Amino acid sequence: SPMPVVIDADVSPEAKAAYEQGVQLQSDGKAAAALQQFDRAIALDSKFAEAHLARAQVLADLGQSRSAVKSLTTGLTSAENNQSRAAMHFRRGELYLDSKKKKKAVDDFQRAFELQPSRADISHRLGKAQRSLALEELAAGIPEGNARIQQALVAFDRAIDS
C-alpha cells in the first residue's frame, strides 16, 4: 500500500490541477493520458513529490519498472521534506524488491526508516527485505547473512514496538 504524502502547500495551483487530472485519468484506466498530466505537473513544479510518486506508479502498473525507478530517483533529487523522501525511497525499495535487487531494496528501506523512524510499515518492510537478502546470502555461503538476520530481527522488533 502506498505511503501517504501530504501535498506541499507551495505547489502551484496549475501543477496541482494537472496532478488531480492525472489521478482521475489513472483511476479511469487511462494510463497514457495520466502520465502526460503527471509529466505536466512535474514540469510546472519539479519538487512536486506526489506527482513523481504517481508517475512512478503508472509506469510500474504498465510493467515499466526501470522507468518507474528512474522517475523516483529523479524525484528524490528535488524532494524537500522527509515524508516525501521517505515515501519515494519506500516505493523504489518495493520496485527493487520486485525485480530481485534485494540489496538496493534494503538500502532504500533503510533510508526510508532513517527519514521516518516511527513508521511501523517501514520497519516491517525493511525487516522482510533484510530477511530475504540474508537467506539468499546464507544459501550462497556469504557470512554477512548472519549479521543481516540480526538486523532483520531488530527491524521486526521496531515494527512491533511502534
5-42 pLDDT, tens per residue?
556 668 899 999 999 999 999 999 999 999 999 999 99
Chain CA centroid to CA 160, Å:
22
Question: What are 98-152's pLDDT values in tens digits?
Answer: 999 999 999 999 999 999 999 999 999 999 999 999 999 999 999 999 999 999 9
Question: What pLDDT is stored for residue 1 in this prediction?
Answer: 46
Question: What pLDDT is stored for residue 9 in this prediction?
Answer: 62
8 A C-beta contact, residue 62 and residue 32: no
How far is 69 from 46, CA to CA, in rounded Å? 16
Q: How many CB atoms lie within 10 A of CB 10?
A: 9
- 3-state DSSP helix/strand/coil percent for the chain, to nearest 5? 75, 0, 25
How far is 129 from 145, CA to CA, in rounded Å? 12
